[in-house]
Amino acid sequence: MTTRLIFIPILGAFIGWSTNVLAIKLIFWPYEPVKIPLTKWWVHGVIPKRRREIAANIGQVVEEQLFSIDDVISYLEAAETRDSLLNSTLEAVLNAIVKKMPHYTPGYVKDILANIFEEILKKELPTMLDNLSMSIGQEIRQKINLSKIIEDRINEFEISDLERLILQVSSKELNYIKIMGGVVGFFIGLVQAALAAVIM
């Protein structure tokens, strides 16, 4: 009798652990709907079944709460980005101008012309870049749908690749769920064994 009572929490731990293992497996499996013989029931993994809905929700959440097109535009319009772009553009344009000068042009003439162009560009480039930034911002808002890009990218994944990616990212959490299933099952079995001992 004592052996049977000891076996109850062990069995409970196994049932709890195996139930959670099966539940996690059913998140992905089967990839395609499978009919249970002699019933009207079909089994289909949660993620494969609701893949498009999940992808759309992820895209929407990312755009609304994590990273939006407005964030991209704000970064492009930020003072640091603007100054960096201005300096890079100024340097590139001046180098191009100097290279286009005839090779026989004296060095001091090149320096004078470079200084003149530099002053002109320093005066005109900020306005040009501001106008360009506004134009690009409007173009991005009109033509780029970030949530749709993310949604399409997720839908392009093979289910097996998506499963592998999710398992890599959340392996610790999923293992914790499996272990906790065993722990909870063990304690439930322990309570059942205690009640059985009292009744007997």
The pLDDT tens digits of the residues spanning 58-71 come to 888 888 877 777 77
Task: Please state, in angstroms and rounded to a whole number, the distance separating the CA atoms of residues 158 and 161.
Answer: 5
Nearest C-alpha neighbor of 10 from the set 188, 194, 196: 188
In eight-state DSSP terms, residue 42 is: E
Task: Please state, in angstroms and rounded to a whole number, the distance separating the CA atoms of residues 43 and 36.
Answer: 7
Nearest C-alpha neighbor of 53 from the set 157, 146, 155, 159: 155
| Structural element, H or E, at residue 25 | helix 2-28
Task: Please state, in angstroms and rounded to a whole number, the distance separating the CA atoms of residues 72 and 171.
Answer: 32
The pLDDT tens digits of the residues spanning 91-102 come to 887 788 778 777
Per-residue confidence (pLDDT) for residue 1, from 0 to 100: 53
Please give the average per-residue pLDDT across 106-128, as a whole number. Answer: 78
Reading the block at residue 168, the tokens are 């890599």
pTM above 0.95, yes or no: no
